[in-house]
Amino acid sequence: MWHFRIIALALTFMAFAPFSKVRHVCPRCPLPQGDLIVLMSKARVPCRVIAQNVDYYVIERLHEVRAVMKSEIASIKRKKAETTLSTADQILLKNDVLLHGSIVEEKKGLYYVIKVGAHQHVAWLSQIKSVHRKGARVPAPE
Neighbours of 28 (CB within 10 A): 5
Say what the pLDDT of residue 126 is: 93
Say what the pLDDT of residue 32 is: 61
Say what the pLDDT of residue 121 is: 93
Q: Domain 2-12+87-137, CATH 3.40.50.11540 — does that match?
A: no
CA distance 14 to 20: 16
pTM listed for this prediction: 0.71
- Mean pLDDT of the 97-113 span: 92
Torsion (CA) 91, 87, 74, 128 in degrees, nearest 10: -10
Q: Is the pLDDT of residue 97 over 60?
A: yes
pLDDT of 35-70, one tens digit each? 899 999 998 888 888 888 999 999 887 778 889 999
CA distance 14 to 102: 22
Domain edges within the chain: 2-12+87-137, 35-77
pLDDT of 3-33, one tens digit each? 555 544 444 444 334 455 655 566 676 666 6
- Mean pLDDT of the 68-78 span: 91
How does residue 127 score in pLDDT terms, banded at 50, 70 and 90?
very high
- Residue by residue, DSSP assigns 103-141 as EEEEETTTEEEEEETTEEEEEEGGGEEEEEETTEEPPPP
Say what the pLDDT of residue 115 is: 93
Please give the DSSP secondary-structure letter assigned to residue 6: H
Say what the pLDDT of residue 96 is: 87
Find out whether 128 and 134 touch, Cβ atoms under 8 Å. no
For the stretch 29-35, contacts whose Cβ atoms lie closer than 8 Å and that sit 24 or more positions apart, written own/partner, are 32/62, 33/79, 34/79, 35/59, 35/76, 35/77, 35/78, 35/79
